[in-house]
Amino acid sequence: MATISAKDVMKLREQTGAGMMDCKKALEEAEGDFDRAGDILRERGIAKAAKRASKVAAEGIVYALVEGNTGVLVEVNCESDFVSKGEKFHAVVETIAKFILEKRPADVAQLLTSDMGGGKTVETFVSEQTGVIGEKISVRRFTVYETNGLLETYIHMGGTMGVMLDFACPVSDATKALAHDLALHTAFTKPAYLTAEEVSAETLDHEREILMQEVRNDEKNANKPEKVIANIVEGKVKKFYEENCLLEQKFVKDDKVTVKQLIAQAAKETGAPVSLTRYVFYVMGEGIEKKAEDLSEEVAKQVEAMKK
């Protein structure tokens, strides 16, 4: 029997709108053949996508919840900005965030198949709330951190972006203030890496190639020796680190110090080790292609549908 991964199940679910367990059973029966699994679902009348399954859920909110030493950052999407601001939608997101903190699922696929009690899965709950709210709801992603130090979260403008940082440090007014400042900093700068060491050799090689070409194409460098050109490129590489690595970035409130130096200062002032061990940020809807349709075309479609 073919091995069916959670990723395969999610892929078929996205294609058909059928439930997770139905997709898993169909893939097992079809021995991993997606086309055949789709046919099986259609034959059984299961692949009846929900009324709004074809809609694009590109709005929504990023939500953060911390309880004790554990925190979650989650993005839940809906179709319209209006619904994303509503109390009902926020209640759904809060329920999902609390469930994630309690059950700690490994990923979205496991979350959706998790039992909420009474035989109801999270996927069933989300489907029911889609019916109540009247828009497609989709749990897109989440991150859970458990810490022995300090967790700090920041949600920007009601959920358009969210940040969660994990600090290894004693909890004090000073470290709380530092954590808050760096959460705001992270939301503003959106770093790609925590440290320079995280940048892969392949990424650096690619960046150097681009920078070398950029330097050579600059007319003012036309007659400069190769050694000078190489030094210019390395200077730009350093700038790349400063722009993309959180600890190497200049602090937004004081560009005379880097984030790394700011943390070192905090450690010196508190007399205890302080370090930022990891971070995550979500920009709501990032990477989701919003379906743009001309209003006249949409009206024409609705009129045509009424004639049938």
Residue 106 has pLDDT above 90, yes or no: yes
Same fold yes or no, 6-43 and 53-146: no
Q: Where are the domains of the chain?
A: 6-43, 53-146
**What CATH superfamily is the domain 6-43?**
Ubiquitin-associated (UBA) domain (1.10.8.10)
| 166-193 per-residue burial string, b: 16 or more CB within 10 A, e: under 16 | bbebeeeeebeebbebbbbbbbebebeb
pTM (global) more than 0.85: no
How would residue 219 be classed by pLDDT, with cut points 50, 70 and 90? confident
How would residue 299 be classed by pLDDT, with cut points 50, 70 and 90? very low
Residue 238 has pLDDT above 60, yes or no: yes
Say whether domain 53-146 belongs to CATH 3.30.450.40: no
Residue 113 has pLDDT above 60, yes or no: yes
Q: How far is CA 76 from CA 12, 51, 98, 163, 258, in A?
A: 20, 19, 13, 15, 33
